[in-house]
Amino acid sequence: MTKTTETGATPADPARRDALRTLAGAGAAAAALPLWARYTHAQSAAPIRVGFQMHATGIGAAYGRWYDRTTQAAARLINETGGINGRPLEIVTEDDGTDPRRGAEVVEKFANQHRVDVAYGTLFSHVVIGSAPRAGELKLPYFVVSEGHHVASGMLNRWTLQPGITDVKSQVLAMAPFVAETLGKKVTMIFPDYAFGHDHRDFFSEAMAAQGGEVIAKIAIPPTETSFTRYFPRIPRETDVIYHVMVGPAVLTFVKEMGEFFGPSRPAIFGFIDSLEAVDLRSPGLEFLEGTYFWEGMPRYVQPGQTDYDRAYRAAIGLDENGASLADPRDVSAYAHMFGCWETLHVIKRGMEAAGYAGPQDRQKLVEAVEVMTEMPESHEHPQGRKLFNGRTHQVFGQQHVSKLENGRLDVVRTVPLEETFYPDEVDYTAQPF
């Protein structure tokens, strides 16, 4: 799908409009102006074109739908508050089918046909890794929202950055102390038998050892698996905690069969919300997860002391207090991840404004401007919380949350500050040539 969206129009929903007004007084004033008047101070009224590589079809489609909604909402807000360098922001969407081959083709299409200024928004790791080499060769800034460790590991290139979402290594490091201190020292890991699962296996095993804990069994689930009954007997009896992550589309079966296996007496359970993103936690079959713990990048359910930033962010996208669509409460969002799109678009805006970006000839200046960024305070631009960007590794760091599932909703029980999510640099992209 190619979709070009210039989101300068005022939202139709009055409630959403009210919420948007809270974002910034100046922004609201700007929003009242007609489109032509908002950009008159710009050197060029031509829009800044951002190529959004969307997982509209394929295995990433559920995430893709919400990445799209978040992107459109952020672009609308940016346009209502004056655009980028006074120029309107235009989102050019292409479906990559969650496929690395098509992903690379889409990046070429962005650069050579749509003539976008930057490419952005890719989530699934294999699509990022398949596309990034072409972005590098085309010298197209490529802002991914993937949470994979591939950027910070040094496997990609200087043109690929991840400034809007934290990576799996820092997430896992942040969770290990909670698991060891609160849930138990002996952990059995159940993870998908592919690279994302292996990252969890390796990083968490290391992090647990540092906490004096131990991963006593590692159960890899083949990606084609649809039933999990035969894996549960491999969980050692002395297990204190089961750690599960991204078992895939069969997650409901996984939970149901785990419930049948353990019955009422089960070890503590800790999981990553990834496979339950865009899934209603009150769905039949998920009852067994009641009382278990999850990592969340951003809390799906409104928490006590909700910030104005979170309130405005939900309103802009059209979400209720349960992280579901206002139009349909059964349409649950990918709330723990999609803030990355919102924040990345704002980083692109900030980077372009700092670089005095005027066109594709300034792409290198844009990358350099983002590389020197460090502090990103909690704000309307960063509603998930304060961030610290590491220009050498092109990776951002931020706070992480542990939430407990009770009465069908997740409530945060611990927030890990970003300083506790650091790890030593594995690459210095700034030393690489453009």
Q: Would you tell me which residues interact with another protein (CB under 8 A)?
A: 1-3, 56-57, 94-95, 99-101, 104-105, 108-109, 112-113, 125-126, 129-130, 132-134, 136-137, 148, 150, 155-157, 193-196, 198, 222-224
The secondary structure of residue 47, as a DSSP letter, is P
State in angstroms the smallest separation of the CB of 132 from another protein.
7
Q: Compare residues 306 and 432 and give the one whose CB is closer to another protein.
A: 432
Specify the residue, 193 or 353, whose C-beta has the smaller distance to another protein.
193
User: Which residues, at least 6 apart from 136, have a Cβ–Cβ distance to it below 8 Å?
Assistant: 142, 156, 157, 158, 159, 160
Minimum distance from residue 93 beta carbon to another protein (Å) = 9
Other CB atoms within 10 Å distance of the CB of residue 252: 16
Report in angstroms how near the CB of residue 4 gets to another protein at its nearest. Answer: 10
Amino acid at residue number 214: E
Report the run of H or E that residue 411 belongs to, with start and end: strand 409-416
Q: Taking the CB of residue 319, how many other CB atoms lie within 10 A of it?
A: 26
Q: Least separation, in Å, of the C-beta of 46 and another protein? A: 20
Q: How far apart are CA 218 and CA 142, in angstroms?
A: 35
DSSP label at residue 245: -
Shortest distance (Å) from residue 428 CB to another protein: 16
Sheet containing 160-161: order of strands:
2-6, 89-95, 48-54, 118-120, 142-143, 160-161
**CB-wise, 83 or 248, nearer to another protein?**
248
Closest to another protein by CB, 131 or 390: 131
Give min distance, CB of 416 to another protein, in A: 26
In the bound state with another protein, the residue whose beta carbon lies nearer, of 191 and 389, is 191
Nearer to another protein (CB atom), residue 68 or residue 296: 68
| Residue 187, strand partner residues | 215, 241
- Tell me the one-letter amino acid at 424: P
- 8 Å CB contact between 146 and 155: no
Q: Which token pair is 356?
A: 């005095």
Task: Indicate the residue among 126 and 185 with the shorter CB distance to another protein.
Answer: 126
Distance from C-alpha of 194 to C-alpha of 392, rounded to nearest angstrom: 28
Name the minimum Å distance from CB 153 to another protein.
10
